[in-house]
Amino acid sequence: MVATSSLATYSHRQYTSENSSALYVVNVERNGKIIYTWKGNQRDTHIGLYDLQTKENEHLYMFERDLRIISCTVNSERTLLAVSFRQYTEEERVSQLLQSVSKYLTLLIEIHPVNNVRVLKAVDSCVRVQFLYPVEGRNTSTESRLLLVSEDKYIEQFDICVVVEEEHKVVIQNSGQLPRARVADDLIWAQWDMTEQRLFYVVPKESRCTLKCVQFYPDENFNSILESHLDISVNDTRVKLVNFGYDDCQDQDVTSKSLNLQVFTSKAGGLCVCCSLASDIPDEITYSIYFLHKGYSKTFTVSLERTESHQLKEVAFLNLDYYVAAYLPGQFLHLLNIQHPDLLCYSLFLTGEDARIDTLQNCSIRSPLMSTVLDGCVGRMYAVSISDSALLQFLQKSKRDSERLAALHCALLCVRSTADLETKIIWWISENLSTCHSFDPIQEFIIASLYSRMCSETHNLDKLLPYTSLLDWIGVIPGVVCTTDIISLPVLEFQNSKGFWEKLNSNLESVKYAEPHLHYHSNVLRREWRTLSEEQKEERRTTTYLRNIFENAKKVLSHLDTWDSEERLVPLFQEEDHQQQLLMGLMVAQLKDHLMRHLQYVGKKKIDQIVLDYVANLLNLVHRIMKEVWKRYRLHSCVFCFEERGSAAEFAVFHIMSRILEATNGMCMPLPPGFHTLHLGLGVRCLPLHTLLHYIDNGVLHLTETCVRKLLKDLDDTEKNEKLKFSIVTRLPEALGQKVRQLWNHPINANFIARKYVKLLLERLGSRQCSRPISERLPVPVEFLPLNYLTNMLAEIENQGVHPYEKQDHVNVRFVEEAALKHTMMLLGLKYS
Contacts of 716 (CB under 8 A, 6+ apart): none
Residue 249's pLDDT band, with cuts at 50, 70 and 90, is very low
Residue 474's pLDDT band, with cuts at 50, 70 and 90, is confident
Confirm if 19 and 379 have CB atoms less than 8 A apart: no
Beta carbons within 10 angstroms of residue 475's beta carbon:
14
The whole-angstrom distance between residue 36's C-alpha and the CA centroid of its chain comes to 38
Dist CA 260 CA 235 (whole Å): 12
Nearest to 750 by CA among 643, 681, 832, 640: 832
Residue 104 has pLDDT above 70, yes or no: yes
Q: Which residues pair with 301 in a beta bridge?
A: 286, 481
Q: What is the CA radius of gyration of the chain?
A: 38
Predicted pLDDT of residue 749: 60
Nearest to 210 by CA among 185, 242, 183, 241: 185
Q: Which residues pair with 276 in a beta bridge?
A: 260, 287
Dist CA 746 CA 766 (whole Å): 31
Beta carbons within 10 angstroms of residue 30's beta carbon:
20
Predicted pLDDT of residue 251: 44
* DSSP letter, residue 489: P
Residue 793 has pLDDT above 70, yes or no: no
* Backbone φ/ψ region at 197: left (φ over 0), alpha (ψ -120 to 50), beta: left
Mean pLDDT of the chain: 81
Predicted pLDDT of residue 424: 93
Contacts of 538 (CB under 8 A, 6+ apart): none
Q: What is the pLDDT of residues 693-704, one digit of tens each?
A: 999 999 899 999
Residue 775's pLDDT band, with cuts at 50, 70 and 90, is very low
Confirm if 485 and 441 have CB atoms less than 8 A apart: no
Predicted pLDDT of residue 451: 92
Predicted pLDDT of residue 10: 42
Q: What is the pLDDT of residues 150-176, one digit of tens each?
A: 999 999 999 999 998 887 788 998 777
Residue 531 has pLDDT above 60, yes or no: yes
Dist CA 47 CA 61 (whole Å): 5
Dist CA 473 CA 795 (whole Å): 65
Cα dihedral 394, 395, 396, 399 sign? positive
> Which of 446-455, 467-476, 676-685 is least confident?
467-476
DSSP string, 585-649: HHHHHHHHHHHHHH-TTT-HHHHHHHHHHHHHHHHHHHHHHHHHHHHHTT--GGGG-TTS---HH
Confirm if 779 and 798 have CB atoms less than 8 A apart: no
Residue 213 has pLDDT above 80, yes or no: yes
Nearest to 127 by CA among 91, 101, 98, 153: 153
Q: Which residues pair with 199 in a beta bridge?
A: 192, 214
Predicted pLDDT of residue 6: 44
Dist CA 567 CA 564 (whole Å): 8
